[in-house]
Amino acid sequence: MGSLYQSGGRCFVRQVFSGLPSMLQRRYSLDISARLLRTEGFIDGRWVSAASTFPVLDPATGEEVAKVSDCGTREAQDAVSAAYKAFHPWKNHTAKERSILLRKWFDLITQHKEDLAKLITAECGKPMKESLGEIAYSAAFVEWFSEEARRVYGDIVAPPAKDRKILILKQPVGVATIITPWNFPSAMITRKVGAALAVGCTVVVKPAEDTPLSALALAELSVQAGIPPGVINVVPCSREKTPAVGEVLCTDPLVAKISFTGSTATGKILLKHAAGTVKRVSMELGGHAPFIVFDSADVDKAVAGAMASKFRNSGQTCVCSNRFLVQSGIHDSFVEKLGKAMDVELRVGHGSEPTTTQGPLINVRAAEKVESQIADAVSQGAAIVRGGKRLKGSFMQPTLLSKVTTDMLCMREETFGPLVPVVKFNTEQEALDIANASQVGLAGYFYSRDIGQIWRVAEQMEVGMVGVNEGMISSPEAPFGGVKQSGLGREGSKYGVDEYLDIKYICFGGLAS
């Protein structure tokens, strides 16, 4: 059972856990500042109630954390109008003024990192250590773009004639629709919104229905930072209303730009919506990352990289390694050492427990998908080296499979769970053929100490990001994005601001003496 009450300006949600594991059989309190537990939509600087609400559930227990306003098409249209009204004065702020406000937002996010992390753990299920890491990552994007705001440069180009000058300006595109996923409910917002606000755009954020609380808390801190009304708007809604709300946000003629992170299938739908009014789009879509370990690799470092890449957020990241390809000479050693590392380092439990490293999957459907991939692989001859079992609710045992073949389901579709399928290969070209045999290409990883091989493989992998002897590659300073059906455009880095800018050419003539 769950209950919510306030005391001394802080909000508490208490739940009694039962089932697996035994550590969950205790009373748990979500103790955060009451000002940060927002449950209404945020439009034009005001908190707005909708006609109905939808529940936000703790994925570890299924218990209700909060009821949130279920915004519909009317609220979505109001949010777009508010953003459009705010766009013209916001773009006329100087870059320095926008930079200062973003820096204040960064400072507040950092100041409230504990409460923001608790919200992520409550609605997303991440272990608290990872949630704190996400808040640091989230804040880093705001800090980065607060600095990039003052570095949006144009050009002066040598003209073909003496009587003119050629000037190139960069200007904000306008209102941006921001549609974000549940697996990084804070960082995926700041990575997009930070860039948009830095260059003078305004935004309407549609957070995932599973994790709206983080988005609303960020909106509250933006108010405290002094960001003007209408610059940031948040429209939470239920799964049932998402298609209609998404259509409004992607077809309204006042919207100039769409930025989406999510599945490839949903991205294709949004692209169709955007086509009607030829909107600018950024799409960070599905991944199915290969993780290649060559005979020349340092096996211990490869195992450490695999642990970091695969089991972060219980395998629920778009850049998680999904397809493990290990060369025959070190295959057995790698599998043995990886199994031992899993035994030592992984602990399943509620994210609030300090010893937990593996929280729940986001919902039962996600657990069923992993379970089906394991069953499919085993039915075709794969061997379970570790784990393999579905636990209570949406919990899964971290699972290691050997004797995996490329025609198994886990090698053909993204997992989004704690499953490590290992394929043995013989030659470099064989590994590349397997790695590139996918319609998506977001991230890829490989381990090798052969310099020539490193250059060959890094250049030939058909992905947008490559980790060479490294399993953690995301950084605000680096461009994030993929190729093939993994999306369009880049986020983060100096290139991230370009997604929210139009280029204007000015020919200044009549200058002949």
Concatenate the DSSP letters of all residues of 60-88 into one string. TT--EEEEEE---HHHHHHHHHHHHHHHH
Q: Is 284 a catalytic residue?
A: yes
Length of the chain: 513
Counting runs of H as helices and runs of E as strands, what totals does the chain give?
14, 25
Q: Is 364 helix (H, G, I), strand (E, B) or coil?
A: helix
Cα–chain center distance at 102? 20
Q: Give me 219's structure tokens.
A: 């909106």
* Contact of 231 with 90, CB cutoff 8 Å: yes
CA–CA separation, 146 and 211 (whole Å): 25
Edge to edge, the sheet with strand 419-425 lists 383-386, 399-402, 419-425, 321-327, 289-293, 443-447, 465-468
20 has pLDDT over 80: no
**Parallel/antiparallel/unpaired status of strands 289-293 and 465-468:** unpaired
pLDDT given at position 496:
96
pLDDT, greater one: 348 or 513:
348
CA–CA separation, 266 and 351 (whole Å): 29
272 has pLDDT over 50: yes
pLDDT given at position 512:
83
153 has pLDDT over 60: yes
pLDDT, greater one: 11 or 86:
86
**pLDDT per residue as tens digits for the range 278-319:** 999 999 999 999 999 999 999 999 999 999 999 999 999 999
Per-residue confidence band for 82, with pLDDT thresholds at 50, 70 and 90: very high
* Contact of 508 with 167, CB cutoff 8 Å: yes
**Tokens 């995301």 sit at which residue?**
474
**pLDDT per residue as tens digits for the range 215-245:** 999 999 999 999 999 999 999 999 999 999 9
Torsion angles phi and psi, residue 461, rounded to 5: -70, 130
pLDDT, greater one: 72 or 26:
72
Q: Is 318 a catalytic residue?
A: yes
CA–CA separation, 183 and 262 (whole Å): 10
pLDDT given at position 32:
86
Average pLDDT for 144-168: 96
Per-residue confidence band for 194, with pLDDT thresholds at 50, 70 and 90: very high
* Contact of 358 with 399, CB cutoff 8 Å: no
Distances from the Cα of 329 to the Cαs of 293, 298, 470, in angstroms? 10, 12, 21
21 has pLDDT over 60: no
* Contact of 63 with 14, CB cutoff 8 Å: no
Per-residue confidence band for 27, with pLDDT thresholds at 50, 70 and 90: low
18 has pLDDT over 80: no
**pLDDT per residue as tens digits for the range 55-66:** 999 999 999 999
| Annotated catalytic residue within 250, 318, 320, 410 | 318
pLDDT given at position 205:
98
| Annotated catalytic residue within 63, 134, 284, 491 | 284
Give the burial class of 314: count Cβ atoms within 10 A of its Cβ; 0-12 exposed, 13-18 middle, 19 or more buried.
buried
pLDDT given at position 30:
73
Percent of the chain residues past pLDDT 70, beyond the cut = 94
- ∠ CA 195-320-437, nearest 5°, is 105
**Tokens 């006609």 sit at which residue?**
51
pLDDT given at position 13:
47
Average pLDDT for 242-268: 96
* Contact of 326 with 420, CB cutoff 8 Å: no
Mean pLDDT of the chain: 94
Distances from the Cα of 115 to the Cαs of 118, 414, 487, in angstroms? 5, 32, 33
User: How many C-beta neighbours within 10 Å does residue 28 have?
Assistant: 19
Average pLDDT for 486-509: 97
pLDDT given at position 22:
53
Q: Is 237 helix (H, G, I), strand (E, B) or coil?
A: coil
Segment 447-456 long-range contacts (CB within 8 Å, at least 24 positions apart): 447/292, 447/293, 447/294, 447/297, 447/298, 447/301, 447/302, 447/305, 448/294, 448/296, 448/297, 449/296, 449/297, 449/298, 450/294, 450/296, 453/294, 453/296, 453/428, 456/428
User: How many C-beta neighbours within 10 Å does residue 42 have?
Assistant: 28
Kindly report which listed range (68-72, 261-265, 399-403) carries the lowest average pLDDT score: 261-265
Peptide bond into 21 cis (omega under 30): yes
Sequence-distant (≥ 6) Cβ neighbours of residue 177 within 8 angstroms: 80, 203, 204, 206, 249, 250, 255, 257, 258, 259
pLDDT given at position 16:
37
**Parallel/antiparallel/unpaired status of strands 165-172 and 501-508:** antiparallel
Give the burial class of 6: count Cβ atoms within 10 A of its Cβ; 0-12 exposed, 13-18 middle, 19 or more buried.
exposed
pLDDT, greater one: 513 or 481:
481
246 has pLDDT over 90: yes
**pLDDT per residue as tens digits for the range 1-13:** 344 445 556 555 4
**pLDDT per residue as tens digits for the range 381-432:** 999 999 999 999 999 999 999 999 999 999 999 999 999 999 999 999 999 9
Per-residue confidence band for 24, with pLDDT thresholds at 50, 70 and 90: low
Average pLDDT for 128-151: 98
**Parallel/antiparallel/unpaired status of strands 487-488 and 280-284:** antiparallel
Tell me the β-bridge partners of 400: 386, 420
